[in-house]
Amino acid sequence: MSTPAISVSSIRYSYGKQLAVDGISFDVSPGEIFGFLGPNGAGKSTTIKMLTGQLIPQDGSITILGMPVLGHNRDVHKRMGVCFEEKNLYLQMSAVENLKFFAGLHGIKDPDIKGLLQQVDLWNRAKDRVSSYSKGMRQRLMMARALINDPEVLFLDEPTDGLDPVSAKAIRDIIQKRASQGAAVLLTTHDMNEADKLSDRVAFINEGKFYAIDTPEHLKLLHGKRSATVRVKQGDEITELRIPLDEDVSGEGLKQAVGSGEVLTIHTEEATLEDIFIAMTGRGLQ
Ligand code: ATP
């Protein structure tokens, strides 16, 4: 096992009386994509803020690249990339000007701005003001910004939230490429497909606590229940019946469904991460 790039032990944070993060612990290895999956208010952003030095944990400890983090740590910051909300961009400046500005903040003398903008497919709009960009384009620029210092650790808060499928895929490809080059990636999402597609391991978070940390495959294998959806025509009505497949009564249930009318389609489905999340936490992701 390699030394973790991110190591978190029992961190806690409350906003006044509102407990947001309740003693969570985890490690992320170099090259690993670690997904935080949880609904609104679960504590994802608060955790990322503690990891990136915007908030100081009230308890517990964080180590990034072997260095302790308690609030802002310049040596750690130089080696991390952060992608939060698009509001961190300067709208009156172009993409090139934004990236030059952020490179300057990091003390990077000769940033490969063309290479970065090509990577996020914005080179053809590089000189346009960011105020004329779509949400997806701004998000891609944020990603380029997060990569400007060639970070060993990447923190991404809902990186594809609200994006069209093409922009979302572009962002996912970049994340996977960076991880394959050795970066440790921590991302938050409330989208189970995103967590499933991207993460090597996923942590289920709800009310500031972890309910599971595992690979998506293992979670589905351990807790997932398969089901069959049978669409039948009964007279003029079309009905959809969902039959669980891993129960003693499954055979009988299927027989009844198939016999209840003219069968139009039968599909089998694996449990989704959301099904398992609901089973474990008692609440959904939306
Ligand atoms: P979202 O997906 O909506 O961003 P999240 O999982 O990132 O949710 P957090 O933003 O970390 O969740 O919020 C965790 C808890 O802390 C919630 O109960 C939230 O209301 C509360 N909280 C977050 N920020 C503040 C704040 N600045 N002041 C008071 N309470 C806050």
The tens digit of pLDDT for each residue in 77-116 reads 999 999 886 567 899 999 999 999 999 988 888 899 999 9
* 187 CA to centre of ligand 1 in angstroms: 16
Q: Are 205 and 21 in contact (CB under 8 A)?
A: no
The CA distances from residue 182 to 82, 114, 119, in Å, are 16, 22, 17
d(CA 7, CA 240): 47
Place 1 in a pLDDT band, splitting at 50, 70 and 90: low
Ligand 1 binding pocket (C-beta < 6 A) is 15, 18, 20, 38, 40-46, 190
Mutate to test the pocket of ligand 1, among 19, 45, 87, 211 (most ligand atoms within 8 A of CB): 45
Spacing of C-alpha 42 from chain mean position: 13
Residues in contact with 286: Cβ distance below 8 Å, sequence separation at least 6, in sequence order: 39, 190
d(CA 106, CA 267): 53
Place 209 in a pLDDT band, splitting at 50, 70 and 90: very high
Phi/psi of residue 245, nearest 5 degrees: -100, -15
Q: What mean pLDDT value characterizes the chain? A: 91
pTM to 2 decimal places: 0.85
pLDDT at 86: 59
Q: Are 49 and 27 in contact (CB under 8 A)?
A: no
